[in-house]
Chains A and B, each alone.
Chain A
Amino acid sequence: GQQVQQSPASLVLQEGENAELQCNFSTSLNSMQWFYQRPEGSLVSLFYNPSGTKQSGRLTSTTVIKERRSSLHISSSQITDSGTYLCAMAPMNTGGADRLTFGKGTQLIIQP
């Protein structure tokens, strides 16, 4: 079954509002990452966050291992934040490889 589930599938906000994206995983994980996919398709790494909270500018990622969830918070959203946000986990016992399992993504649309 699906090991990584993201919610919501899509989210429409007004510029300036905050966004909360969720990622739930069903197996023990070794690492959790968040990526941003631009509208034209390219992928950018946002966070490597296997546990705890990390912040970068307006973005905050929180991973709670025992609850098997990770979240991405975007504060004061901007139109340029529009795109698809993907979470990905690497399960335990994969040796050294970061063989990631991705969620299906949250499509974020920020309107003026």
Chain B
Amino acid sequence: EAAVTQSPRNKVTVTGGNVTLSCRQTNSHNYMYWYRQDTGHGLRLIHYSYGAGNLQIGDVPDGYKATRTTQEDFFLLLELASPSQTSLYFCASSWGGRGSDYTFGSGTRLLVI
């Protein structure tokens, strides 16, 4: 079954630490996205990509890097984690331009202490 799989499900790190969140999709979708969800803000787009090697900036990119290594794999990197990056992170994929097949992963809860 086509899906979007995120890892880890939960992560605790210290301020200044490095964190990598992973996402793999088996939907054969072109586009992949990283969102964060915070109380009072809803989901906000961090970065997205339309294929291997491509990266596009979203609405809240500061403090985040991302890399799309293959059609299936999209990574979010926090190189100097801060408490303000404590959040619930979602990865998603879609064909692009159609919308009806938007698929989310189960989310990663990140706590920066």
Contact = CB atoms under 8 A, between A and B. Distances in A.
A43 B88 CA distance: 12
A96 B102 contact: no
Interface stretch (B11-19, B37-45, B65-73, B74-82): B37-45
- How many residues of A sit at the interface, in one of the four size bands? 20 to 34
B28 interface: no
B35 to A, nearest CB: 8
B106 interface: yes
Interface string A91-103: 0000011111111
B42 A86 contact: yes
B113 to A, nearest CB: 21
Interface string A74-112: 000000000000101010000011111111110000000
A98 B95 CA distance: 8
Interface of A: 31, 33, 35, 41-45, 48, 50, 86, 88, 90, 96-105
Interface of B: 30-31, 33, 35, 40-45, 48, 50, 56, 58-59, 88, 90, 94, 96-104, 106-107, 109
